[in-house]
Amino acid sequence: MFLSALALPLLFAAGNASAQASPDRKMQREIRRMEHDLDDMLVDSSNFLVPGYHNARGMYVPGTGMIFTFSSSLTASRGSAVFSVNKRHWMLWDDDDDEDDDSDKEHRTIHSRGIKREERQYKRGTDEMMDLLLDDADSFSSLRAGEWVQVVAYFNDVDYLWDKDIQHLAVKAKVDDLRAYAAKSLSADQARSKMVKEEY
């Protein structure tokens, strides 16, 4: 359900979604490997907050490439955190907000600091997504020249992004650039400069 909803605008951008072809076994292995590596990155990250493994989902869209999605919050967004299996979302709050003797000024200070922490973690998380694409640069041999590898994040309960009306972050790299990086024809900085970041 989540994957379909998240990938829908990307499918429309790619053209007729009905033209999708079932990936062959080689491509399926590459998708599973990237899903596993993305899950590892999210669980080990000090920036992304996820409930555990099996959060990443991948798919192939002909003419577009591979799209990998995940749902997350940021660790700075939690004072305490409870994951509701039934509601399937993170319920986050700051313990400091429950103190009866906190003044309005203290609340604003706490909120402001939280926003700044979220901003830093969002930027570091974006870098982690880019690094993952470089780390797996040689993992997409089944893609055709000109196709893309995209990592798309859906964020829950992040005040910094809420204020900017951002729910999704997409980081994508053309497979040609990833192959050039894997072949050492591009440096890491050059490969990163060719990546596309989209927020919506």
Structure pTM?
Answer: 0.75
- Nearest-angstrom CA–CA distance, 119 and 115: 6
Task: Identify which of 199, 170, 191 has the alpha carbon closest to the alpha carbon of residue 67.
Answer: 170
Task: Identify which of 79, 29, 83 has the alpha carbon closest to the alpha carbon of residue 55.
Answer: 83
**Which pLDDT does position 78 carry in this prediction?**
56
Q: In this structure, what are the phi and psi dihedrals at residue 160, rounded to the nearest 5 degrees?
A: -60, -40
- Nearest-angstrom CA–CA distance, 152 and 171: 6
> Three-state SS across 94-160?
CHHHHCCCCCHHHHHHHHHHHHHHHHHHHHHHHHHHHHHHHHCCCCCCCCCCCCEEEEEEEECCCHH
Comparison of pLDDT for 19 and 116, the residue scoring more = 116
**Which pLDDT does position 157 carry in this prediction?**
85
**Which pLDDT does position 82 carry in this prediction?**
39
List, in order, residues 6 or more apart from 119 with CB less than 8 Å away.
160
Whole-angstrom CA distances from 48 to 88, 97, 138, 176 are 17, 22, 25, 28
pLDDT class of 105 with cuts at 50, 70, 90: low
pLDDT in tens, 44-103: 999 999 988 999 999 999 999 999 999 999 987 754 343 433 334 444 444 444 555 556
pLDDT in tens, 137-157: 999 999 999 999 999 999 988
Task: Identify which of 200, 86, 97, 90 has the alpha carbon closest to the alpha carbon of residue 152.
Answer: 200
At 89, list the tokens: 């979302």
Average pLDDT of the chain is 82
Whether the pLDDT of residue 115 is over 60: the answer is yes
* 55 secondary structure, DSSP code: -
| Dihedral Cα 179, 180, 181, 185, nearest 10 deg | 150
Whether the pLDDT of residue 43 is over 60: the answer is yes
pLDDT class of 106 with cuts at 50, 70, 90: low
User: Does residue 92 contact residue 51 with C-beta atoms inside 8 Å?
Assistant: no
**Which pLDDT does position 52 carry in this prediction?**
87
| Averaged pLDDT, 119-138 | 97
Domain boundaries, the chain: 2-75+119-199
**Which pLDDT does position 113 carry in this prediction?**
83
**Which pLDDT does position 1 carry in this prediction?**
44
At 161, list the tokens: 């992004």
CA 37 from centroid of its chain's CA atoms: 12
